[in-house]
Amino acid sequence: MNIITVKDYAEMSQKAAAYIIEKVRQTPSLRLGLATGGTPVGTYQNLINDHQKNNTTYRDVLTFNLDEYIGLTGDNKNSYRFFMDDNLFNHIDIKKNNTFIPRGDGENFETECREYEDLLAKHGGVDLQILGIGSNGHIGFNEPGTSFESKTHVVNLAPSTIEANARFFNSMEEVPTQAITMGISSIMKSKEILLLVSGESKRDAMKKLLNGEVTESFPASILNNHPSVTIIADQAALSD
Ligand X SMILES: N[C@@H]1[C@@H](O)[C@H](O)[C@@H](COP(=O)(O)O)O[C@@H]1O
* Residues belonging to the active site: 67, 136, 138, 143
- Closest distance of CB 72 from ligand X, Å: 13
Q: Give Dmax (Cα) for the chain.
A: 45
Determine if 87 is a binding residue for ligand X (CB under 6 A): no
CB of 34 closer than 8 Å to CB of 155: no
Contact 24, 58 (CB under 8 A): yes
Q: Which of 67, 112, 117, 127 binds ligand X (CB under 6 A)?
A: 67
Q: Please tell me whether residue 175 binds ligand X under the rule CB under 6 A.
A: no
The contact mask relative to ligand X for 7-36 (x = CB under 6 A, - = no) is ----------------------------xx
Min dist CB 38 to ligand X, Å, is 3
Closest approach, Cβ 18 to ligand X, in A, equals 19
Report the residue from 12, 16, 133, 238 that binds ligand X according to the rule CB under 6 A: 133
Q: Of 79 and 165, which has the nearer Cβ to ligand X?
A: 165
Least Cβ distance, residue 53 to ligand X (angstroms): 26
Residues 178-237 that bind ligand X (CB under 6 A): none
Q: Is 134 in the site for ligand X (CB under 6 A)?
A: yes
Nearby residues of 90 by Cβ (< 8 Å), 6 or more positions away: none
- Separation between Cα atoms, residue 231 and residue 16, nearest integer Å: 9
* Cα–Cα distance measured from residue 222 to residue 181, given in angstroms and rounded to the nearest whole number: 16
Nearest distance from C-beta of residue 141 to ligand X, angstroms: 5
A 10 A CB-CB count for 109 gives: 18
Binds ligand X (CB under 6 A): choice among 33, 37, 137, 176: 37
Using CB under 6 A as the binding rule, whether residue 65 contacts ligand X is answered as no
Report whether 23 contacts 58 (CB < 8 A): no
Q: Are 138 and 156 in contact (CB under 8 A)?
A: no
Asked if 58 is part of the footprint of ligand X (rule: CB under 6 A), the reply reads no
Return the HEC string of 63-129. Answer: EEECEEECCCCCCCCCCHHHHHHHHCHHHCCCCHHHEECCCCCCCCHHHHHHHHHHHHHHCCCCCEE
Please give the residue ranges that form the binding site for ligand X (CB under 6 A): 35-39, 66-67, 132-134, 140-141, 161, 165
